[in-house]
Amino acid sequence: MLILNNDEIETLLSMDTTIEVLDKAYRQLANGEAVNRPRTDLYLPFPETSGVYAFKSMEAGLFDPKVVALRLNSDVIRWEDRGGRIVKDKLPKAPGGKWVGLVLLFSAETGEPLAIFPDGVIQAFRVAASSALAARYMARQDVTHLGIFGSGWQARAHVEAFCKVRTFEKVLVFSPTKANRESFAGEMAERVHLPVEPCADAERVAEECQVLVAATNAITRVIPPEWVRPGIHFTCVKTSELGDDTITRADRVVIHTRKIAPENYIAGMGDERVEAHDPIEFLNAADKQAVARPEVPPWINAPELHDVVSGKESGRSRPDESTCFVNNIGLGVQFAAVGSAVYEDARAKGLGREIPTEWFLESVHP
Amino acid sequence: MLILNNDEIETLLSMDTTIEVLDKAYRQLANGEAVNRPRTDLYLPFPETSGVYAFKSMEAGLFDPKVVALRLNSDVIRWEDRGGRIVKDKLPKAPGGKWVGLVLLFSAETGEPLAIFPDGVIQAFRVAASSALAARYMARQDVTHLGIFGSGWQARAHVEAFCKVRTFEKVLVFSPTKANRESFAGEMAERVHLPVEPCADAERVAEECQVLVAATNAITRVIPPEWVRPGIHFTCVKTSELGDDTITRADRVVIHTRKIAPENYIAGMGDERVEAHDPIEFLNAADKQAVARPEVPPWINAPELHDVVSGKESGRSRPDESTCFVNNIGLGVQFAAVGSAVYEDARAKGLGREIPTEWFLESVHP
């Protein structure tokens, strides 16, 4: 069994490959040749820490290649108010100040485990590649300016990914912290070989760009409805960055998956599944049922990404249409597709650390 | 991070310990100090093999110790007709003719992975220990004869476990294959220091014993309603071994969990969760909805095991009551409790293989 780290994955994985294997995986999903188990979050509230421990997991299987991937996150979470924006922070409590996110890959032919590796690089690649894949089928061909909100990992990956599906002349980045947006601009200009301008004025970014990407860790709105104008394409890494009024302002909406919230299981709440976006909000809510069964959003019946990728639905019908891709929640199939590509490439190049598969097998009949 | 194998776990784990840590875990569950994510099964039907690949997973977290356990199975499955009994078989397709079932243990304080080990020994122990735990609170004190149906791993573990909670004089075992029931009798007589009689006549076992345990791999009925008489306690490792009419014949029923079926996700069925016990039956069913939403069984509102263990419900009120424990589906909390006990004991005794925890951590902010 192969162990890989993020550095190795970064050398193995290209954004082009990520976009292409996802394109193939979404087609399989559309054709019933793949299966997802939606994300579930397990919560242990520890009031003494004013936070929770969360264990997230999702799985998916593909017919080609015949693999199953399990992606898990083992997170120590705190909620903080950063200048009026409520931000959920995951604390690096593991030894050496590290986080824990893993992908386990299995063969669907023999059942054996093939590899284990951290999810960080793939996570950034797959979210951005999915957004870019949507843009490939939804954005106008003649776009020139890319506007990015946020300056973290997700924002970096999104700039790189969007430059693979459209030819931009310039990138504008807004991030509330000056130092962040400036280091981001410097780094990204080199990576995508384009002028990248740091902007203190978010509205200017919205006015000058035909493609807007919200890739922040804010759980408050980033793109207001007024910014939605004819011909624009915009997207987000979570629905709270847009809000229903911004999403429904678009002439055409495509969503990543109809699953609107993870299925939460919370200690003290019994075996009932709680479909709340934020279990802390749920725990503090007076009317728990209202939070537990979130209102079905008005865009819920929009086509899913795999419908557009497979050609069952069109992504754009007119140049002056405003289009929105809601990258609302991740799918295991992304990790199965990208993870197996990374695994095969690592095998071909002889990268990674080998441990005996034997350790993870048993002669006990289940 | 610690790697353990089944041999090591067998030397570390005693049935007494298993029963006691489960007793403690069910009390935590009753008090809202533990959480389960119910089992989900992911299916990739491969018609060319007249079978499926199944990836099962379940998770649970405890407050004491602060751990989360993920249990997974990566199974290559075939359905076979064995002398009229339809038996689901899991084929050892992994290298060396092995199966794949794993438990991953995480710290809920730091998030770090603590250990990975195969599930086989713990699986047999935890199912049997839960049945025995129910018997501790439900069976009469004066029982003398234990009747066991089945001669596999589960049956062996059940005999051992039941002998921990009641003092039996004799064990009778029925299994359709002569060689199986005889080798079982020989082996178990040594293990529990009691006479163990192999019986070709299942009905005789039912007549002579006051405690009946169905621990087979049959998915057809093992214990008919006629065998339910005053004062008897009976149990199963899956509901199909009893059937609703046998279960409801008991004066008092306790179930393991109100969750009656795993949540199946099947390639080709879209994102819809299919709550069928048998996805193959589902795939072949004319009326898929009927199979997908199994009829709620008449015993569904019976107390759950944690209600009885925690004392919220009584297990038996009169000597002449017939009592039934439906060990209907596993819970992750069993693996969290037993797995963490095994882990702590292995640490104390310096057993297992150490691999760098560092390999499973990342410095990428999620």
Cα–Cα distance between B314 and B81 in angstroms, integer?
Answer: 40
Confidence at A291, pLDDT banded by 50, 70, 90: low
- At B208 the pLDDT is 98
Cα–Cα distance between A32 and B283 in angstroms, integer?
Answer: 13
- At A293 the pLDDT is 66
Backbone φ, ψ for residue A152 (5° rounding) = -95, -165
Nearest chain B residue to A8 by CA: give it.
B359
- At A100 the pLDDT is 98
Q: pLDDT tens-digit profile of B20-34?
A: 999 999 999 999 999
Asked if A58 contacts A71 with a C-beta cutoff of 8 angstroms, the reply is yes
Other beta carbons less than 10 A from residue B298's beta carbon: 12
Confidence at A280, pLDDT banded by 50, 70, 90: low
Backbone φ, ψ for residue B7 (5° rounding) = -60, -45
Chain A neighbors of B271, CB-CB under 8 A = 36, 38, 257-259
Q: pLDDT tens-digit profile of B89-133?
A: 899 999 999 999 999 999 999 999 999 999 999 998 999 999 999
For the segment B37-60, the average pLDDT, to the nearest whole number, is 89
Q: pLDDT tens-digit profile of B332-342?
A: 999 999 999 99
Q: What ipTM was estimated for this complex?
A: 0.90
Confidence at A81, pLDDT banded by 50, 70, 90: confident
- pLDDT at residue B365 is higher than 90: no
Q: pLDDT tens-digit profile of A159-188?
A: 999 999 999 999 999 999 999 999 999 999
Chain A neighbors of B123, CB-CB under 8 A = 364, 366
Contact A120 B358 (CB under 8 A): no
Nearest chain B residue to A366 by CA: give it.
B120
For the segment A42-62, the average pLDDT, to the nearest whole number, is 89
For the segment A315-323, the average pLDDT, to the nearest whole number, is 97
**Nearest CB neighbour to A53, from listed B108, B153, B355:** B108
Chain A neighbors of B336, CB-CB under 8 A = none
Q: pLDDT tens-digit profile of A209-239?
A: 999 999 997 778 999 999 999 999 999 998 8
Å from B230 to nearest chain A CA? 33
Percent with pLDDT over 90 in chain B: 79
Q: pLDDT tens-digit profile of B64-75?
A: 999 999 999 999
Chain A neighbors of B359, CB-CB under 8 A = 3, 5, 116, 353
- pLDDT at residue A271 is higher than 70: no
Confidence at A97, pLDDT banded by 50, 70, 90: very high
Contact A361 B118 (CB under 8 A): yes
Confidence at A294, pLDDT banded by 50, 70, 90: low
- At B81 the pLDDT is 73
Cα–Cα distance between A218 and A241 in angstroms, integer?
Answer: 7
- pLDDT at residue B210 is higher than 90: yes
- pLDDT at residue A241 is higher than 70: yes
Contact A6 B364 (CB under 8 A): yes
Confidence at A346, pLDDT banded by 50, 70, 90: very high
Residues 12-31 of A with CB under 8 A from B: none
Asked if A236 contacts A308 with a C-beta cutoff of 8 angstroms, the reply is no
Mean pLDDT of chain B: 93
Nearest of A107, A134, A162 to residue A22 by alpha carbon: A134
**Nearest CB neighbour to B259, from listed A76, A271, A363:** A271
Å from A299 to nearest chain B CA? 18
Chain B neighbors of A120, CB-CB under 8 A = 362-364, 366
Residue B310 touches partner A, C-beta closer than 8 Å: no
Nearest chain B residue to A38 by CA: give it.
B271
Q: pLDDT tens-digit profile of B138-189?
A: 999 999 999 999 999 899 999 999 999 999 999 999 999 999 999 999 999 9
- At B286 the pLDDT is 73
- At B329 the pLDDT is 84
Nearest chain A residue to B217 by CA: give it.
A366
Å from A70 to nearest chain B CA? 9
Asked if B11 contacts B342 with a C-beta cutoff of 8 angstroms, the reply is no
Residue A88 touches partner B, C-beta closer than 8 Å: no
Q: What is the pTM of this model?
A: 0.91
Q: What is the 3-state secondary structure (H, E, C) of chain B?
A: CEECCHHHHHHHCCHHHHHHHHHHHHHHHHCCCEEEEEEEEEEEEEHHHCEEEEEEEEEEEECCCCEEEEEEEEEEEEEEEECCEEEEEEECCECCCEECEEEEEEECCCCCEEEEEECHHHHHHHHHHHHHHHHHHHCCCCCCEEEEECCCHHHHHHHHHHHHHCCCCEEEEECCCHHHHHHHHHHHHHHHCCCEEEECCHHHHHHHCCEEEECCCECCCCCCHHHCCCCCEEEECCHHHCCHHHHHHCCEEEECCCCCCCEEEECCCCCCCECCCCHHHHHHCCCHHHHHCCCCCCCCCCCEHHHHHCCCCCCCCCCCCCEEEECCCCCHHHHHHHHHHHHHHHHHHCCCEECCHHHHCECCCC
Confidence at A329, pLDDT banded by 50, 70, 90: confident
Kindly report whether the peptide bond that precedes residue B298 is cis, defined as omega within 30 degrees of 0: no
